[in-house]
Amino acid sequence: MSFFPMTGTVIKNLFSRPATRLYPFVKREPFALTRGHVAIEFSQCILCGICAKRCPTHAIAVDREKKEWQIDHLACVICGNCAIVCPKKCLSIKETASNAVTSGAKADETETHANA
Ligand code: SF4
Ligand code: SF4
């Protein structure tokens, strides 16, 4: 049995780079093809509602009367269906994730776009 079983580990850790980052001051760039969140170029949207119909979690709501498009980011599972079926290609999957939410902050995760 070694007399100082942890000595090797301690010396190695003293001279190696830290395994963690000083988040949020140091952020890692997302990996390519990371599914972060759904984004819309609303000026291109024709409010056809196909994205809402094809969304498996009903995260998208389209109200043609109010000329309003809405997404609940907490309900979205980032499957990408909406971006694939959108006839105007105005939906896309961005690499950056939405901000973390705390309980009671659900309203902050609902994003609404509307025409005046
Ligand atoms: S990515 Fe999937 S779950 Fe999210 S809004 Fe689009 S269709 Fe719905
Ligand atoms: S499918 Fe595209 S154009 Fe149609 S409502 Fe959705 S985002 Fe707008």
In degrees rounded to 5, what are phi and psi of residue 14? Answer: -65, -30
Q: Which atom of ligand 2 is nearest to the CA of 62?
A: 5
Ligand nearest to the CA of 98: 1
The residue-averaged pLDDT of 64-82 equals: 95
Residue 82 to residue 48: CA distance in whole angstroms: 12
Residue nearest to ligand 2 atom 6, measured at CA: 51
How far CA 90 is from CA of 13, 47, 64, in Å, comes to 49, 11, 17
pLDDT band at 85 (very low <50, low <70, confident <90, very high): very high
Contact at 8 Å (CB) between 72 and 110? yes
Residue 69: exposure state from Cβ atoms within 10 A (0-12, 13-18, ≥19): buried
Handedness of CA 106, 108, 112, 116 (dihedral sign): positive
Fold of 30-114: Alpha-Beta Plaits (3.30.70)
For 10-65, the pLDDT digits (tens) are 999 999 998 899 988 998 889 988 999 999 999 999 999 999 999 999 999 999 99
Q: Which atom of ligand 1 is nearest to the CA of 35?
A: 1
User: Does residue 51 line the site of ligand 2, with CB under 6 A?
Assistant: yes
Q: State in Å: Cα 71 to ligand 1 middle.
A: 9
Is the model's pLDDT at 1 over the cut of 60?
no
Alpha-carbon distance of 78 to 96, in angstroms, equals 12
CB 86 within 8 A of CB 44: no
The greatest distance separating any two alpha carbons of the chain, rounded to the nearest whole angstrom, comes to: 78
Mean pLDDT of 65-75: 94
Pick the residue with more confidence: 54 or 102?
54
Residue 63, pLDDT score: 96
Q: What is the pLDDT of residue 87?
A: 98
C-alpha gyration radius of the chain: 22
Q: Where are the domains of the chain?
A: 30-114
Measuring from atom 2 of ligand 2, which residue has the nearest CA? 86
